[in-house]
């Protein structure tokens, strides 16, 4: 069964809670995942800088550089 974007988000949040930084998360969890379609892209949303990793679903997983929050869009 294929992993969903929500399951990938849960893995990312668990890794972050365990102390993993975004570059390590990118290389170990996101980059090898078949849902991910490209490298992180820096964007500005609501005046905040985010790194967004695009997904096959058309959504993205975002890492907010100010709050360190990981969300899905």
pLDDT the model gives residue 23: 93
Three-state DSSP class for 35? Answer: coil
* Cβ neighbours of 69 (radius 10 Å): 13
Positive or negative, the CA dihedral 12, 35, 4, 53 is positive
The DSSP output letter for 3 is: P
pLDDT the model gives residue 2: 67
pLDDT the model gives residue 65: 85
Segment 44-68 mean pLDDT:
91
- List, for residues 15-39, the tens digit of each pLDDT value: 999 999 999 999 999 999 999 999 9
Distance CA 59, CA 36 (A): 10
pLDDT the model gives residue 3: 83
Distance CA 56, CA 15 (A): 22
Residue 7 has pLDDT above 80, yes or no: yes
């Amino acid at each position: 069964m294929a992993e969903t974007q929500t399951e990938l988000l849960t893995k990312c949040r668990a890794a972050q809670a365990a102390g993993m930084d975004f570059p390590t998360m990118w290389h170990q969890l996101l980059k090898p995942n078949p849902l991910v379609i490209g490298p992180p892209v820096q964007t500005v949303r609501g005046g905040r800088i985010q790194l967004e990793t695009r997904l096959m679903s058309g959504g993205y997983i975002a890492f907010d550089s100010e709050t360190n929050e990981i969300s899905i869009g």
